[in-house]
Structure 1
Amino acid sequence: METSTVQSFSPDPLALQAEEEDELTVEDIPLELEKTLRYLSIIIYSIAFLLGTTGNGLVIWIAGFKMKRTVNTVWFLNLAIADFIFTFFLPLSITYTALGFNWPFGTLLCKLNSTIAFLNLFASVFLLTVISADRCVSVVRPVWAQNHRTPRLASAIALSIWLAAFILCSPYLAFRDTIRDNENNVTHCYNNYAFSNDFDDLEVVALRSMRHQVMISVRFLFGFLLPFGLILVFYSLMALKLRRSHLSWSSRPFKVMAFVVAAFFLCWFPYHILSVLEVVMHHWDNKELKSAVLIGSPLATSLAFFNSCLNPFLYVFLGRDFKESLRRSILSAFETAFSEEQGKNTYSLGSPRSVSDQESQFT
């Protein structure tokens, strides 16, 4: 039965093992290791909550109310909103984990908590992809970008991103459910892919397995593989244009964005790899692989969650030199990180050149 297996070691709504359908129990790993991983998850979630709500709340306040509205502030504001909403709900996962994976908040919050987690994933990765495309256009077609890049257009694109992200995460509103485990006197928040608590009927089991694999595949494709591929293409095009023009990457806002993109994919990479291994486990019965997924899941999930509190610190520490950022106000550091490159000496080698001066070399 699903709820008596890996559910008892499920750290949160994103945890891979919370979705595992095979019979892998906590007896497959040492009890002390299970406790260590659970306590580690609680610590990391708590840090992510404290830093994420504070840091992203500060970004929202500064980018939304203290800075001039530009294309860049629209991008970073929406990134901060996605991370803030997610980290704001982290106490639910912290409580769930601390109670030994007993969900006391009811079915509605079970559905909402998981949906928000994946809304953050899709909204963030789509925003990073669009920001990379925006950077690419600014380098390849600087004059066109200067004439057409407007905060209004950026806001419309951001709204479309939120809509697309909600569509992709909406199945969790349907599939996420609670079930009572009377034997252990706990309530589990889990993915009821078959809309049935019958774990013995072969047709129900097959339906659950099929939908589980589809959900993982869609999440991996749209939440990692396609965005990562597109971002690589955009950065390659920028590198090619700059190399042909004998220019270098000297824009601080560009470097900030590069670090934000790198941090996101590094933090989410282990999670998505374990997701792929989950699909493999449906077709290959291997106890060692199952144990690796079970042990690695809380670590990978914790790393993914931690990404939601990193960006504000990247903005501050990369917005200006580290020592200077300690002396100057946070607002000043954010203004540097979010500044527009248009019309400035953004990319230079030797003598300074403006973006508009470079268009002939970029065509």
Structure 2
Amino acid sequence: MSMGEEDDYYNSSDTYYDLPGEDYSVLVEDEPSALDSEAVRRLLVALYSLVCVLGLLGNGLVVVLAGCRLKRTVSTVWFLHLAAADLLLNAFLPLYAAYAALGFHWPFGTALCKLSSFLLTCNMYTSVLLLSAISGDRCVSVLLPVWVQNHRSPRRTHAACTAIWALAALLSVPSLVFRDTRQLSGGQVACFNNFSLLSPGPAVAAASSGWHVGVTVTRFLCGFLVPGLVIAGCYFIIICRLQRHRLSRNRKPFRIMAALVVAFFLCWCPYHILFLLELRPHTWPPAVFRLGLPLATALAITNSCLNPILYVFMGQDFKKFKVTLFSRLASALSEDTGHGSFPSNRSFTKVSSVNDKSPVSEKETAML
């Protein structure tokens, strides 16, 4: 494809359905119905607005509690970094809502196009790598409780989280490199992945395809499949160990982490599936990408507001444990791994004693 042909390709009358957080550059070759377009835009605007409000409030509260008010433990450090990753993405959601409200027109410039995509990708990598690290931490705590007591500390956990942030940022660099804007006919500006940016010349089509495949496969493996196998392996070992030695009869400590992991993979699974399907867009009906890509991206972004909700509803028995939301959240965040396999009693910090009359004095086991 020559440079002139490339310009004609990107400036055709076809319609882009590519949200700022997506890493697709699908060009839909048929115009959607007005009903589909309007319904999708309204749904996305409402969803992004709701996720933004819930995410800023929930993750902001978690950051304040875990970072400033609760006793610093290994678990609060993990939760602090998870919330910080989500909070950073939540702060940019008004751009997503505006993009959908404007009919997928991006008026914010190339820099914000790149940055918004980078933040979504970095949020994905940071979240799944942190969940993998937490799972490994729980597994080691069950297998080697004595070693954990001597070597596990909040300071070292902070160092591990910093390394995870650095790795996630490195894996997200393609979003900064390939994300681009281009003006279409009718005055609309598209924010999309332009894999030809590093491939000028006559071989642009083949080179672009190579970059596209490389970025897609890397993201699927590093951001979904491999961490999923690591998490599954860790919890399989934990369950086998606990059942074999009858170390814990209480299933409540499993609820928070199980809920976080399940929520992450349910929210991101459609995103990655469509990402892989997009490698061969002409094999599938255009409606798959026209409607599927925006909705899958919105579902992935929804994960950024779910964790604080899960802390509240999964940390304790919601029907029997009648305390304030603030105290419930503090309770979930203050659970620590300890030895992972032995019962332990811990008292609440000043923040978690908002409702001292509630029966919350004992934690049977560490959160796994």
Q: Normalising to structure 2: TM-score of the pair? A: 0.85
What is the deviation of 1:277? Answer: 1.0
Deviations 1:315-347 (A, max 9, x none): 11122222456533513432334411425517x
Find out whether 1:190 has 2:187 as its counterpart.
no
Q: Which residue type is aligned with residue 191 of structure 1?
A: N
Corresponding residue for residue 255 of structure 1: 255
Structure 2 unmatched runs, 5+: 1-8, 345-363
Find out whether 1:212 has 2:212 as its counterpart.
yes
Q: CA RMSD in A?
A: 2.5
8 Å contact kept, 1:3–1:188: no
What is the deviation of 1:8? Answer: 3.3
Deviations 1:231-286 (A, max 9, x none): 111011111111211344626443211111111011111111111111243xxx42
Structure 1 unmatched runs, 5+: 347-353, 357-363
Corresponding residue for residue 162 of structure 1: 165
What is the deviation of 1:187? Answer: 1.6
Corresponding residue for residue 302 of structure 2: 306
Provide the rounded CA distance (Å) in 2 between the counterparts of 1:314 and 1:355. Answer: 19
Corresponding residue for residue 96 of structure 2: 93
State the SS of the aligned residue for 1:44.
helix
Provide the rounded CA distance (Å) in 2 between the counterparts of 1:252 and 1:355. Answer: 9
The percent identity for this pair of structures is 42
Q: 1:278 to 1:287 in 2, by over 3 A?
A: closer
Q: 1:197 to 1:245 in 2, by over 3 A?
A: closer
Provide the rounded CA distance (Å) in 1 between the counterparts of 2:168 and 2:14. Answer: 28
Find out whether 1:117 has 2:125 as its counterpart.
no
Find out whether 1:320 has 2:316 as its counterpart.
yes
Provide the rounded CA distance (Å) in 2 between the counterparts of 1:191 and 1:232. Answer: 32
Q: Which residue type is aligned with residue 138 of structure 1?
A: S
What is the deviation of 1:301? Answer: 1.2
8 Å contact kept, 2:14–2:30: yes
Corresponding residue for residue 238 of structure 1: 238
Corresponding residue for residue 24 of structure 1: 28
Q: 1:275 to 1:158 in 2, by over 3 A?
A: same
Provide the rounded CA distance (Å) in 2 between the counterparts of 1:339 and 1:119. Answer: 27
Corresponding residue for residue 360 of structure 1: none
8 Å contact kept, 2:21–2:118: no
8 Å contact kept, 2:129–2:227: yes
Q: Which residue type is aligned with residue 110 of structure 1?
A: C
**Which structure: greater helix fraction?**
1
State the SS of the aligned residue for 2:171.
helix
